[in-house]
Each structure stands twice: as structure tokens, then as C-alpha cells.
Chains A and B, each alone.
Chain A
């Protein structure tokens, strides 16, 4: 067995420089004529360690090197040649690898492990066994039954039981049906679908094949955002290979079942994650939601019964059919079965993708797999479910990850985005940030969403600028509830969540902003006051030279002063001061 070097080349790895590392290793291996393959893999989830290189020796032993730069790559090359080297320095810490082991990986089972551009590696990992089993030995109804047993629910956000949608589509009359994959992952800070597309595209294809078989569809569309070029590229490659292998096309595995797939690149509107808007976009119309019913399962793409799931949902399906629905259902809680992938971002030490069984707590994720808060600051809150989600405060850190339990807090499971916040995060500003996003992404159809989110955003902007006034909180609450109730689709119905949950848990911060013109997290610049600590100031004059409004005065080598009237709270003085003499409050 020859040696093998695997470079993690998901978008995260490439962003960290994996392409250059990969080239350097390939050139080095080529030049030194070692018998060693260079291969790629998708994201393993530990984005904070990228670029990551695995070396598999000729006995099958594996070593993982992390945070690889040119020098590290050279050390790895030396180790391959058997020369003295310092590669050991770059080996993954036990603590990190333990984290990987502590996860339960189903949707991400192959991500970061196999070469996504090589169907054989997928096949070697029991790929396409599940669809083969379905078409050769199961009736569609049995497939749906298995999914029902598994308790799998939609991982895109709403958490609707998957079997129910499949059955509805199956039972809708019609010769022509469609299977559609929503790969329009639009939440800021969520990238689990991208990881699957880039790291294990065949899992999606297989999941869609099984769904198509179950509902009686022969055509599928993957609606991917055009901002995911690598994902599109790898999915295209995978589709081509699957076609070549006879897995996509007519008479799959010798059965009468036929299915093929195409990709539709979407122009990236958040609202196109809503299934009716997605269908409108697929049909070449403006991406705007329409009223349900009829549901897509009744009248979907081109008015035909259509099943829409997201990438993660489909990626779970092959495992379930291979291992049995019961095995999936054995994991999780009463309401939420199986595992869930989360994208950990924000003030977290070990940012990246994690997949854990349902029923774990938020604390397990943040302080377990996530390694805790960066710089060991105090955990303040976590935003779950992206802009549609809500904020869960520190006191609820023991909340179980479960659709119902999370919803009870005002947050949602959503697609699995977790943005971790510490003491330096201003909750008002955070709410403003997410609302700014949904406000811009509103399709403009519903009055409440189009103008309501805009007016809420304006109020938040006023508050963060110190122009908040009494009654603003109540107006936000009232308008927030009206927007939720008055909007047609999920975007508007959830857009106020970040605002409403932050008001619910951090009302005092809002009140500080409005009544005392104070931002305790020191994030809202307009509310900050700058003062020079006479004891610390050395009179170096640097601050007064940086000040754009000449608000700082003072003689050389004597303590300086800031004129509050002239100060525009730009913070340049505090940044410039070498002696921490500028006090910000």
C-alpha cells in the first residue's frame, strides 16, 4: 500500500491556504519521486485548524497535521522522505482529535475523510448501497416507513417530519413528480450544506435518489446558491461520475427506476430558501413566496407534486436506509431524533462544524466540542438559527438541543447556525445586525415584512446611535409581533425573533441605551465617552495628532484632555494610545 497525503480542500481549507499547500506537497512529492498519492478531502469541521493535512503511511496508519503553512508542508515532506523533521510540532493535539471523536457523525460521515471528486471512495464507504437496497428489495412505501421510523425531520429550519412530506408527494396524483434539494443555505454563519456539497456530494445524490424512488419522481433539481462555486463544481463532477457509473439515469441498479438530476444556480436571495419562493425562482419568476396551500407536495415545480428538502436532510437518508430507521431514532430525544450539524461561529475557541446527537445541551456544544469562549471571556448568549432564530442567554445554557425545548426559549433550531457571543457583544447591535439582513432580504411582497422590518431597523438604529426614546421597546415588541403575524412566509414570520428574544432576555441593555445612553458592551460608538486618565497620559501627543476633529488638547509631556463637545466618538485616540490612558465608557 502506497502512502497517501490528503489535503483538506473545503472552502474553509482553501481560504486558509490549502491550495498552495497541496501544490507544494504535490511538487515536493513529484520531485522526490516518493511513492505517495496526493488527494483531497472536504471539510472535517475543524475550520479553526485549517489547513489540515492527513498522512496515511503504507501500513494504513494516519497522522493529522494542522495549521499547515509552507514551512510545515516542508517538514511533512521531510517526514515522508524519512529525513529528520519537525513535523511532529504540527500534529493535531489529542484534545482536538478527541473532540472529533466525541461527535456523532451521520450527515457528515464522509466529510473530510473521502475524496469528494472520486466516486470510488464514496462507493468504498458503502456509498449507494442504500439506494441499491431500496430499488432492489424495498417498495417505496417501505422506504417512507423506514424514514418514519427514523423520526427524521427537515434540517432546513422548520423541522417538519420528512416522511410526511414524502408521503404527501407520493399520494398526490400525477405522472410527473419532482425531487428538489434546497441548497440555498442563506443564513449568515451557516455552512453545513456547503460542507456536504463540497465534502460528500454523493451522499446528497443518494439521498435524493432514495426520495425520488419513494415518491415516484424521475427528475430532480438542486437549487444551489451561485456563491458556492466549489460546491457546484464538485456536485457536477459527482453527478457526471454517477451517470457514468449508471447510478443516475435509466434503469438504476437494474430496476425500472430512473432518475436524473440537474443543478440550478440561484442568484442568492435569502427568501429563496422558502420553498414556494424557491419554486418560483426555479421557474424563472421573481423569487417571491406564495400562499400555501397548495403545498409543493400537491402543486410544486411546474404545478407538479414536488418534494423539497435541504442538503443535510437528504444526507441523513442513505445512513438511515443502510443502518435502519430504528438506529437513527435511538439517538436524540422524544421529539427530535438523530443528530444535528451545527456551524459554530462567533466568540468561540474552536469554530467550525460539529455534529452531535439531539438531546445534548448547548453547554455541551459550546464548552465541549467548541472549547469554550475565546480568551476565556464570559459567555453571554448564543444566537441560534441565524437571522430567523433567536437569542439564548447564558442562564439557559443547559437548554437541551431539541426542537420543542429550543422553541420554548424563543429561539429555533433553524438550519444549525450558532453564533456565540461574549460580554463584548452589544445585544441591541446584534439584533440590529440580523434585522438589517432580513430587512434587505425581504422580497417586498407583504406590507408587514417590507415596511415593518424597515421601521424596526430604524428604531434599532436610533437606539444604537443614542437617539432612542421612551416607548421604543414597547413599539418594537408590538411591531415585532405584528410583523410575525402579518407576514406570509418564514422570513417575515421569524425576522423579528432576534429583536424580540434580545428584548426578552436583555431588556436592561435596551433600557441602558435608551434611558442612560450607555452601551455596556462598548460597541455602540455614538454612546461611548472618551476620557484621558491623567495618571497614565505621558503627553506623547499621538492621540491629539490622530484626532480628526482636534478635540484633544494638551502640551507636550503633559497630560492631555478631550473636549467632549468636539469628540465624535471615533475611537482613534484609544486605538493610538500606547499607555491605555484613554478611558472608554
Chain B
């Protein structure tokens, strides 16, 4: 391969002949977008997104599939290139149906991820839900209580029966957060050196301060009132939002380092110029605090109050005289707040005067109905025309009777006076709550609108003054709901941040795919009524200002959250299409036309297909074929109607699909998604932890994704590498585990059942019980069993605990069977690696259920066969492997074929120097070789390199010995890309062997015979053995297993996703296990064993898993059955501490020669 040089976007770069333009660009850090390319599969070039322009070439080139040539001059970003990419994206999006984001999120002025937090609540992840809310709303509990929730108005559950109680759920998690005593606040970036003044400490100002503070700016909030909170504090009555509660949320903002300056009014105590001079930027969020005037005779009389003025005075505990009879004018929430406050203050008659009917009232329905319950008298279709005074005070109000006429500009029917019809009510005071204006005094030089609000740019929030921004009720269209001000605060904070960095301020409306389903689309949904917010009964509440609502209980909250229809695309955070769509500022509307409406397919337990989101990049089809080899999918039909599905309309579950999930992983959109094993699937950003799969001994690396303490997915790690594969168990299996109820505390037998206990008590009980057995029955009456799913570190600790504290050498595993290889090679271990398997010439498989037990090995074999290797299948396996086999024959129940092959090898060889050869020859003297076995032997002999694969638990020790013999006889045991791979059932079966854990086979009898009186089982199910002979049984496990049911004491185990440690794979790789989530129990396995040992008088000197690992690493290498962990760099550690594999072979060969060959027959 010769080096070539080319110029990409003006940069001189180099690559090699045979590389594509895309490849060279990427390797040089130049990103070219593509939707259909993956390095693991053949060039395809369908999406047309990766086009580039090459000098001297008339056509655009697909960089993913054009080989680079020396001297090429490439431009990846010309107008023509951008236009072509844009057209391709627009065409794709013109037939792409769905909802990138759910309607609730789109409806929220602050863009709160409602679906996200509702989903997290459904899964019990309250803290994560709260964090997600606090990304957008710094005052979630307050907003959850008072928000008129446009999200619920938009909620599609309405099409089924009623919307989700989204606001109540928000308050629920906020309450939990406050109850926890540690209010969550966002992380604060390092000090930026910039300062911002915020004028106004209402929801908008506080939110702006919060977001600016997270960016590392120094923020000071100035507010004219004695306390922060603005309208939330002074406009919303106590019974709707307790002020102590609000204060908690405000204090949390202060705790982030925001400075609060109260009782400082702009223009009175401080000037705007001063702030502009003292701070790098100013945000004005002064709200709309001026009550609109009534505009009829008599409004100047004493006893006429503004609605918000009244509410503020009540909040400040200022003396207010309202009298016995009060009219509140207006139909909004402020009017309702005023009415209900008056009721609580003891007014005898509270009238609400509104010129239209209840149906047109802007106040929330619940406010109106609750006010009515509390006794407010609604005078709908009336309008004050005069406030009648007496002695300069209000005495009565004259009301014009109205009726509804034609709809006006707002679409509502306009109130029209019914001439001559009037009514007069005698009253003491009148409260006018018909709107709010802005008092802009003190903001000298700031340009105002004709409504006297501050004029700002809708998207950048700039005012006419440089460095002065304005948000919330005080700007443009005036008063709005609190969440709008908060939404503007977040956007404005981002703009101020850019301004402070000296960047250009601009805004582009993000592009999102949206759909409009109807009730028809949800007819098959089961109806589940909305959970009503529990609240105090009317008689109780109307007399005081205590909070009306009790809040949702945990059960109610989870049930309610589970009603969510999950409208938003589950792939939003991973979708490449939407990223590019926004990068290229698409306008797919210009290509409007037919749009597919196809039925999404749920024909697989884990994989969901939605053809309407498919962009036909073909990646799933190609990866399934070229990488996995299952060829479960194909492209069906032609042209516009082309669709990805299994051939002949069969269901995906009925194809050769091995449920590896690769198709989901490569899908660039939400056309293929997986079923996640949680209560509610929810699209949220996920954390990724690279670790090792725990399901078998192949040792596949996996990326566990999680949110909070919720495990979401297990993905093949290193997805770009060809060997990144997981089988169904690795990909989807952990969900099954977490489905069952986990043990979280120790349990002690109590009568027929169990009772929860503390770790201390469980430890004492266990140690004392075992100790007493020791005194009664002497040495070795106690044994310890450990599962092959435990890490090396746990196993080592357990063994230490057994040896030292329990004073027993009897440490075994029920799952471990006697080895055959040890008799030949001197070690119970594989002599070849998985990597070698893929690069050998012949693979001999003795594993009747390989595709079920170790599917990834099956796929590796399939791939090796595709690359030219031959496969000799000595077991009857249907499907993929059988199709790939060069020769397939039944090994026979008595392994007779293996004997015949051994015999045929002896017949064809000139003898062998290895010890034991003569004995083997002798043992096989009566065997005659069948024609089939002869053919198989020929295959083995003709191959220059061969790897033998067998499943230990499917082959007897005898069979294993034969396989090892055959490897040696055929010369395939001791050279690179030759050898034997012994597949084991558990993730750490090999580790158990290396650490000297004995086979359980020898201990069954000892238990049944009562030789063993006490047993401590770590993580194993013991089927078919009567444990009733035991005097004492302790069990540690994840769940309440059948074995645990028989125990005297049960400890909760930690799952592989919760701990640090290592597993040793079947081919001897020691790989690091990392925790993705916190242990469910207060003490993890490590702490439990340390505690047990310490209590038994044998304290261990390990403070962490790393300490344990350090000790394991120092175990002597030469000692058979010992292991040494080498470097901690990277994820793959090799046994013996030598990266050179020859060491392994040499040692193994030495074992083989010293032990000699097994006698057969």
C-alpha cells in the first residue's frame, strides 16, 4: 500500500491507496456526514449525504465509496455539496413520520422534558426525574403547583381519555427532593470572570440567575421586595403555593453562589447606568406589577383595589380593609386567587364579575370550580359600568348585563351589552383583576413598545441598549405564565453567555419531525382514568391558608406516570438524521407529497421496527448479513415503496435472527428500537459504562447504559469494531434479571418465613452458627460454595474468609464440573484464544447447543468461515452453523466419532513422542474407523492450523480428554492459531478454576451424607440436592431463590453491574468489570465479606477492590491453579503477566509432556 497525499478543504493530508476519501478525511479529523456508511460492511453509497466535490471532476463523489487517489483536491463544504446533502435530507424527511419530541415538551414554554421525567417517575427514578426537570426549571415544586400546564393541554392521552397529570408529577418529585433534605442544584462551571446583574427576583429573574450561575458567571439579583420570588411569592396565595416551600427552592439557588439584594428598586435605589457600568451584562426581569384600571366612573373611590396589589398586601400581611361584601372583576387566575383569598379572609359575600360565561374564562377550570365550591358567587355575563360611592367610599357597583355575540378576533364570542338591562349590587370594596401592566420607571433609555412594555428581540432578548437583555412579563406582549418567563430565562442566559464570550447572537428555529395522530390511532389503548390530585375538602380549606393539595402518593405518581403514551421518538438522543437536518437547515415542506403510513412491526420480543421512520440506508440489512451472518432482513419491493423486512413476510422472530440487536445499534434513526426492560421506555441521555458481559465465559465487552440507578441497555462495546457482538443474553438478558424483585437487606429465618434484619445481626448470627458447628463436628464440617458469576476479587475474598475465618479448605462451586483438559495439559484451561479462532484454517466444534449457549462464538466461527476457514461440526446443530459447516456429523452419545478420529490419526502418523502415546494406541486398538470419521480426520490433517472448540458442560471429562488428545495427535495443540478452546457456562468459570475453587461434583455426597453440616452458598442455585441434612445454611444471592428459601440467613448479593472487579474469560483474558449503577443494598459483597471475616476475628487488610487485586497479582505464577492479574491498563489483561502468547503455549506444552496422554477405553 503506497502512501498518497491529497488536499481536503485546504489541508494537506495523507492516506494510503485503497482508502476511501471518507476514511482519510475522518482519520485526519475532517468530519463528513453520512447516514449509510459503517466501516464494518461493504461500501454501499445509498444516502448520498457524504458527497464531496473533487477538483476536475464534474460529478459529486460519494466519499464513502470513492477510493482516494494521489493528488486529489477535495472540498467537503461547497455550496453544491451542501445543496445536494440538503436535498437528500429533505427528500428523506418528506417521507419520515413520527414525533422527534412529544407534544408535551413542544408545548412547554420552557421546553421541559415532560415525557422524560414522567417516564423516569414511572420507573421510580425520582432523583433523575428531578435532575431532568431542573435542567429547565429551577423551581420545579413551585411551578408544579401553580403552572397552568400547557403540557397537559397538549398531552395526547386526551385522545384516549384524559391527559397525564404532568404538573402534579413534577411537584411530586420536587417534594421528594425537598424531603430528602439535599436539594438538587445543577453543577456550577468554573468561574468565568464575568458578572451579570439581574433586575427582578421573580421566576424569570431567578431562573436567569440560576442558568447564568451554572455557566460560571457571578450573578447578583436585585429585587424591590423584601424577599425573592416575585409574583410567585406576592401574587400567588399561600394556599396554592406555601411560601416556606418556595423559599426552600429559592435558597437552593442562593446556595449555588447567587447574590440576592432585596429591597432595592431600580431607579429608586440604584440606576440602570450604574448596573451597566458595574456588570458585564444586565437582564431585566421586572415583571408586570401594575394593575389595569377599570375604566368606568367611580374607579377613584376608596375601596377600589387592583387585584395583584390586593394579593401582594395580603402576602405582606399589610392591613387591608375589604369589608363584608366584595366584587372581584375579571376572569383570570388572579381574579380567582383574589376571590378565594377573600373567602379565606372571611368576607361574607364574594362576587366574581366577568363579562362572558364560565366557558370563556381564562382561569383554570379547577380554580373556577374550587372557587365555586368555596362559595364564590359568579356573576357571569355582567360588566361594571359604574362604581357607586358614598362618602368617597365604595357602596355599590352597577353591572351591565351582557350576552354573547359573534366571535371576535380572539375567536371567542364577544360579549355584547343587553341594552337597558342592569343590576346593582351593594358592596364594600371592589377588586379589579382585569390585567397587568408594566411599570418601567427607572429603566431610562430602554426602548418601550406601544403597550409600555420593554421592546426586546424575540429570540435574542436584546433591548436597544448594548448588554441589556430583558425577559418575562415586562417585555413585548406583557404578562404571561411563570413558565414562559422561565423558558425565556434559559434562552436569554444562553444569549448572555454568547454575548459575554463576544459571539454573534443568532437564533434558528430547530427543525423537528411532528405528526398529528387522532383518537383513531389509540383505539386499542386501555382506558386508565387520570389520577385526581387529592385535596382538602371545602369546609376545611376555606377557613385557612394551608395548602389545598396533599400531593400525589408514590403509588399514585407511578401509576399516573405509567399512563404516558410515549409519543416522543425513543431514538431522539441518538438520531443522526435530526442532527443533520438541523445542521443543513432543511425545509422538507417543499417536497410535500405522499407519505407512507405503514404498520409498525412488533414481531420480535426485543426488536421493534417502524418502517415509517426508515430511511433505507440498508445498514440493518447489511450488518445482519455481513457482520452477524444471520441474514434475517432484506429489502422488499421497489422504488418509493421499498421496505426493510424479513423475506416472504415471515415474522422476525421466525428468521435466523439471533437477537444480537446489531440492527438496532446501526440504525441511524428510530426505525429500529429495542424493547428496554424497564417499566417505561423513556428517551433520555444515558451514561455509558464499559464492562464485561456476565452471561457466559466468552467475555464479550459491553457498554451498559444507565440513567440514575436504572440500567437501560447493554450494547456491544466498541461498536465500530468488527468483533463487537453480543448475543441475545448479553444484549437483552439483564432485563430479565432485574425484572424479579431484588434482595436489599439481610433476612433471618423466623418460623416458616423470614424477617428483615441488619447486617450486623446477620453477620453475628452466621459466624456464631458456623463456629458452633465447628466446635461440635470438628474441622471441615463447614463448606463454602461460590458461583461462577462472582468476580475474581469476590471469589478470592470468599476463599480467604473460608480458609481463615471459617477454617475450612472446602471451597467449591456446584456449577463447576471435573476437568478433562487438566489430565492432558496439566491445567483446566483453553490453549487458544478467541482471536486466534477467527484466524485459523479449520475449526472443529463439539458443542451441541453452541448457538444457544455461546452464540457469539458461533458468529465468530461463521465469520471465520466467510473468510475462508473450514468448519468441522461434530454435533448436530440446526441453522446457521450447519449451513456453514464443511462437514457435519453426529459425534454420537459415546463420543465414538472422537475415538475413531483419534484412531485414524494414529493410523496415519508415524508415531508420537508424547508420553502416554503407547497406552493411548493400546486403548484404541479395537476401534474401527468409519468412512465419515476418515473424512473428518482428513480435514483435520490437511489443515495447517486448527482450533478445537467444545462446551465443557456438554462434554464429559472423557470427551474433553479425547479432544485434547486429537489436538496433540494432529499437531494442532502447541502453535499459534492452533489449540483447544473450552467454553464454560459462567462469566468467571475460568477464574474459579484459576483460583483453585474445586468442582462441586465431589461435594454432593458429602452434603447428602451429612459430612458437611454447615454451608455458605454465594450466588448458586442448588438443584436436585437435599440440603435438609445441613444444620445451618447461609445464602447470598440477588433474588429469593429456591435455595435461599431453605436458608437460615440470607444476604443480598451485588450484581455485576454494581461492582468493581474482574472476570476471566474462557480463553484466559482477565477483563475489568465496572459498576454502572449503585448497589441496591447498603453493603455490597465486598463490604459484607470484609465484615464477616472481621467479626470472626480475622480482619482483612483490604480497603478496596484494588487492594484485593494487588494481592491476587502477587500470587506465585508457577503454582498450578493460581492466577496472576497483570497490568491494569486497558480492559484486556492477560494471564501470567506476559503479553507474549508463546509463553502460554510453551507452558502448556510442558504440562502436556509431563502429564502424558490419557489412557482411553
Residues of chain A touching chain B, judged by Cβ–Cβ distance below 8 Å, are: 269, 286, 288, 290-291, 293, 439-448, 450-455, 458, 475, 479, 482, 485-488
Contact = CB atoms under 8 A, between A and B. Distances in A.
Given A440-B638, A447-B46, A454-B640, A486 B616 contact: no
Which of A288, A453, A485, A486 is most buried by chain B, counting CB atoms within 10 A of its CB?
A: A486
Contacts of B60: 485-486
A interface: dominant SS: helix
B906 to A, nearest CB: 39
A447 B67 contact: no
> Which bracket fits the contact residues of B?
35 or more
Given A447-B46, A447-B615, 15 more contacts: A291-B44, A444-B637, A446-B45, A446-B46, A447-B47, A448-B91, A450-B642, A451-B92, A454-B593, A455-B94, A479-B87, A485-B59, A486-B48, A486-B87, A488-B45
A482 B84 CA distance: 6
Contact of B639 (A440, A447, A485): A440
A439 B84 contact: no
Contacts of A440: 638-639
Interface string B624-650: 000000000011011111100000000
The 6 closest A-B pairs by CB, nearest first: A444-B642, A451-B91, A442-B639, A458-B593, A291-B65, A454-B640
B92 A447 contact: yes
Contact of A444 (B43, B94, B594, B638): B638
B103 interface: no
A444 B591 CA distance: 17
A436 to B, nearest CB: 11
B634 A286 contact: yes
Contact of A482 (B46, B66, B83, B634): B83
A446 B639 contact: no
A439 B635 CA distance: 17
B88 A448 contact: yes
Contacts of A454: 593-594, 639-640
A458 B87 CA distance: 16
Given A448-B88, A488-B45, A443 B95 contact: no
Contacts of A475: 590
Nearest to B635: A286
A486 B36 CA distance: 14
Contact of B591 (A286, A290, A451, A485): A451
A269 B637 CA distance: 11
A448 B87 CA distance: 8
Nearest to A452: B91
A482 B590 CA distance: 14
A455 B615 contact: no
B interface: dominant SS: loop
A444 B83 contact: no
A225 to B, nearest CB: 15
Contacts, number: 95
B145 interface: no
Interface in B14-44: 43-44
B62 interface: yes
A450 B640 contact: yes
B658 interface: no
Interface string B82-109: 0110011001101100000000000000
A486 B88 contact: yes
B618 A445 contact: yes
A447 B45 contact: no
Contacts of B84: 482, 485-486
A447 B91 contact: yes
Nearest to B45: A291
Contact of B640 (A288, A439, A448): A439
Contact of B67 (A293, A450, A485): A293
Contacts of B83: 482
Interface string B215-237: 00000000000000000000000
Nearest to B60: A485
A482 B91 CA distance: 11
B51 interface: yes
Contacts of B640: 439, 442, 444, 450-451, 454
Nearest to B49: A447
A444 B639 contact: yes
A450 B639 contact: yes
B72 to A, nearest CB: 15
27 contacts: A286-B634, A290-B45, A291-B43, A291-B45, A291-B66, A439-B640, A441-B639, A442-B639, A442-B640, A445-B46, A445-B616, A445-B618, A446-B46, A447-B46, A447-B616, A448-B87, A450-B616, A450-B642, A451-B95, A454-B639, A454-B640, A482-B84, A482-B87, A485-B59, A485-B60, A486-B51, A486-B88
Nearest to A483: B87
A447 B594 contact: no
A455 B638 contact: no
B550 to A, nearest CB: 54
A269 B48 CA distance: 23
B189 to A, nearest CB: 41
B43 to A, nearest CB: 6
Interface string B61-85: 0100111000000000000000110
A452 B616 CA distance: 14
Nearest to B615: A447
Contacts of B51: 486
Nearest to B634: A286
Nearest to A439: B639
Contacts of A486: 48, 51, 60, 84, 87-88
Contacts of A286: 634-635
Contacts of B635: 286, 288, 444
A444 B616 CA distance: 8
A452 B48 CA distance: 12
A269 B639 CA distance: 11
B597 to A, nearest CB: 15
B625 to A, nearest CB: 10
Contacts of B43: 290-291
Which of A286, A451, A486 is most buried by chain B, counting CB atoms within 10 A of its CB?
A: A451
Which of A286, A293, A453 is most buried by chain B, counting CB atoms within 10 A of its CB?
A: A286
Contacts of A450: 616, 639-640, 642
